[in-house]
Amino acid sequence: MKVVLQRVSKASVTINQKKVADIKQGILVLLGIVNEDTQEDINWLIRKIINLRIFNDEKGVMNLSLKDINGEIIVVSQFTLQASTKKGNRPSYIKAAKPDVAIPLYENFVTSLQKEIITKVQTGEFGADMKVELLNDGPVTIIIDSKNKD
């Protein structure tokens, strides 16, 4: 499981010209899933995401977590995170999990995240054509792969 985390001042997701998610200060999570992912990957990533100290304290030092600031969060499924670009110029998405595997893992990720944080977890829609808007704060963008825990 791979995530791209973006610290945001605000972010939203629109589907068919209808805003389905809208947050202020927090994290936009882009989530890419492979067939080998498990609940263990979900649990590890969630602990990382909610405890990662990427928000500024009163001295302007990144020393606070999402939990510390009671920040908001949007999770967006994004199979393109699992793209392979080793050969040629057209990305291959063969590593990305198919919907029958990815949807339950995506739903478990969201449900598990909701159990861990107080604020409402908002989402896009799995497989939909989404328009994601964000104001990246910093900019702070971090990539985490649950297969690279060591």
Q: Which of 80, 85, 119, 141 is catalytic?
A: 80
| Confidence at 122, pLDDT banded by 50, 70, 90 | very high
Given a cut of 80, whether residue 150 has pLDDT beyond it is no
Q: Give the model's pLDDT for residue 54.
A: 98
Helix 99-116, helix 39-51: angle, nearest 10: 40
Please name each of the domains of the chain with its CATH number. 2-145 (3.50.80.10)
Q: What is the pLDDT of residues 37-94, one digit of tens each?
A: 999 999 999 999 999 999 999 999 999 999 999 999 999 999 999 999 999 999 999 9
DSSP alpha helices (H): ranges in 27-137?
39-51, 66-69, 99-116
pLDDT for residue 123 = 97
Supply the pLDDT for residue 27.
97
3-state secondary structure of 124: coil
Q: What are phi and psi of 91, to 5 degrees?
A: -60, 145
Establish whether 141 is a catalytic residue: no
Q: What is the pTM (predicted TM-score) of this model?
A: 0.94
Q: Using CB atoms within 10 Å of the CB of residue 150, give its burial: 0 to 12 exposed, 13 to 18 middle, 19+ buried.
A: exposed
Q: How confident is the model at residue 117 (pLDDT cuts 50, 70, 90)?
A: confident
Q: What pLDDT is attached to residue 3?
A: 98
- Residue carrying the six token digits 């809208």: 22
Q: Which tokens go with 115?
A: 């159990």
